[in-house]
Structure 1
Amino acid sequence: MPRTTAHRTAALAVSVTSSLLLGVWAAVPAAAHGAPTDPVSRVYGCSPDGDQNGTAACRAAVAANGAPFTAWDNLRVANVNGRDRQTIPDGQLCSGGLPAYKGLDLARADWPSTRMTPGAALTMRYVSTIPHTGTFRLYLTKPGYDPTKPLTWSDLPEKPFAEVTDPALTDGAYRIGATLPSDRTGRHVLYTIWQNSSTPDTYYSCSDVVFPAAKSDGAGAQGAGSATGGGRGEGNTGASPGQNGETGETSQSGQRANPAEKSPVPAGSAPNAVPSGSPAEAGAAPESTPVASAADADSGPSAPTVAGGAAAVLLLTGGAALALRMRRR
């Protein structure tokens, strides 16, 4: 075979192999990192993987967003370096100011929520697909917070009520322990900031929570039913408490407030600890969010990526060998 023909054949083989390689890598989504699943965050609950994506609030969020929240574990902003209040605009705290998540900033009182008990122990479950070092800072909106108005920095205290650095990643999730403030009632936002120290990224998330109303003179203790009723009554969507899936309210253990609603439990998941006397104590079910697998390093490829890369390398090797053989003829 003439030398020019051999060169053209070799170039064609490399070009075809490169195209296949690029196709393989393009088909694999970029590795992401994490979000709270208990108390359920807006981005997870309204994602295709979440159990609340059929609620009115989630449907409205997806419509406003223009796309589903498929990358629920990738809501991050680079190079913030602790300047959260200077970087993230008011009214955009839940989206981190990212256009791809703008639907999370809708001001409405019917977001899927988790029942909480004032002053009780909290164990946040923050699912992560890749382990990182860093600090979690937890904020709870101030007393008198109005969920029908855009969330602003002035709605949050200057200091977090909990700050945890470098918790262990176990079974695909961080467990962050804290004690909730004791002076909250009604609907609030649990705002979580995860500032990485192993990457330049900071992650933001909003988890909607509902506290039972304070006891009145001569009245009995508020039970799970009153907490549920309070949460649903604030919805303002026209949905009655009996409507299946319209509010998506759960207890911290992962059980829906309406026992008739579906609450799937994946194998191997463990329930959160619920303080004695809390609304979630009676009949609490194991948490219902899936555990994401953890990779060994930030840049480590997922299993599909490794398989695709291996196939592409084989194609590249085969193409080069073919070109070499043809050139020798």
Structure 2
Amino acid sequence: MRMRSVSRRNVIALVVGMLACLFVWTPTASAHGTIVGPPTRAYQCWQTWGSHHTDPAMQTQDPMCWQAFQANADTMWNWMSALRDGLRGNFQGSTPDGQLCSNALARNNALNTPGAWKMTNVGANFSMHLYDQASHGADYFRVYISKNGFDPTTQRLGWGNLDFILQTGRYAPAKDITFNVQTNGTYRGRHVIFTIWQASHLDQTYMWCSDVNFG
């Protein structure tokens, strides 16, 4: 009887331990999303280096991702988690200059660092693609582009560095949402696309920077 009792306790302990591991290793932010095209800074780093993030070649081939991984690798592992709750549309008042690319999240501060982030080539008119694991939908997206003359390789992005381009309408829940952006054709070379996603299921606001090259 004693042997059976000990065995039963061991089994229970094993099951509890396994369940605890599941809770520990399941990302708390797994049910969110990001702009994957043109990719946000965190997503680009994860997509390029996630499977070999310890490769020393990253330091020379992609130094901005290198510094981000060194600062906090969780920024890339949780590329879908750049959200804040309850801003009630007060985006500018709630997000200081220099913290736009991190959505004012201290854990993601490396995304604000000026430098030669990898760029995606776009034209004057381009499409944007949100991948949302949980299909939240959107009340709207707001899209801004850094002004001509702003240099993201040496300057942190602030609200005064942005041109407002558009605000979309609502989007029904879906894993993939795409929408078109049309510019006046005056942008050339390196710029930052700053996107705000106001999710529909709760008052959750996501903000990201995507680095692009206008041809």
After TM superposition, the score normalised by the length of structure 1 is: 0.55
Aligned with 1:185 (options 185, 188, 198)? 188
Q: Say whether the 8 Å CA contact 1:167–1:175 is kept in structure 2.
A: no
Superposed CA offset, 1:130-150 (max 9, x none): 111321111111222121111
Alignment of 1:92-103 (within 5 A): 92-103=99-110
Quick one: percent identity of the two aligned structures? 28
The AA in structure 2 aligned to 1:116 is V
Greater CA radius of gyration, 1 or 2? Answer: 1
In 2, distance between residues paired with 1:17 and 1:51? 35
**What does residue 80 of structure 1 align with?**
87
Alignment of 1:1-329 (within 5 A): 17-30=15-28, 31-47=30-46, 49-50=47-48, 54=58, 55-63=62-70, 65-68=71-74, 69-108=76-115, 110-118=116-124, 121-134=125-138, 135-147=140-152, 148-157=154-163, 160-167=164-171, 172-212=175-215
Q: How many correspondences in the alignment?
A: 201
In 2, distance between residues paired with 1:51 and 1:179? 31
RMSD: 2.7
How far did residue 58 of structure 1 move? Answer: 1.3
Q: Say whether the 8 Å CA contact 2:141–2:195 is kept in structure 1.
A: yes
**Cα 1:9/1:130, change in 2 over 3 Å:** same
How far did residue 42 of structure 1 move? Answer: 0.7
How far did residue 15 of structure 1 move? Answer: 5.8
Q: Say whether the 8 Å CA contact 1:88–1:97 is kept in structure 2.
A: yes
**Cα 1:195/1:126, change in 2 over 3 Å:** same
Q: Secondary structure at the match of 1:100?
A: helix
Q: Say whether the 8 Å CA contact 2:128–2:178 is kept in structure 1.
A: yes
The AA in structure 2 aligned to 1:152 is G
How far did residue 14 of structure 1 move? Answer: 5.8
In 2, distance between residues paired with 1:173 and 1:50? 21
The AA in structure 2 aligned to 1:144 is G
Q: Say whether the 8 Å CA contact 1:58–1:111 is kept in structure 2.
A: yes
Q: Say whether the 8 Å CA contact 1:191–1:205 is kept in structure 2.
A: yes
Q: Which has the higher helix share?
A: 2
In 1, distance between residues paired with 2:22 and 2:214? 48
Q: Say whether the 8 Å CA contact 1:114–1:209 is kept in structure 2.
A: yes
Superposed CA offset, 1:109-162 (max 9, x none): x111112223xx2211111111113211111112221211111111113xx312
**Cα 1:19/1:56, change in 2 over 3 Å:** closer
Q: Secondary structure at the match of 2:48?
A: coil
The AA in structure 1 aligned to 2:159 is W
Q: Which moved more, 1:192-201 or 1:50-59?
A: 50-59
In 2, distance between residues paired with 1:94 and 1:9? 53
Superposed CA offset, 1:57-116 (max 9, x none): 2112222x23251111111111112111111121111011112211111112x1111122
In 1, distance between residues paired with 2:48 and 2:130? 14
The AA in structure 1 aligned to 2:142 is R
How far did residue 13 of structure 1 move? Answer: 6.9
**What does residue 313 of structure 1 align with?**
none
Q: Say whether the 8 Å CA contact 1:167–1:176 is kept in structure 2.
A: no
Q: Gaps spanning 5+ residues in structure 1: where?
A: 213-329
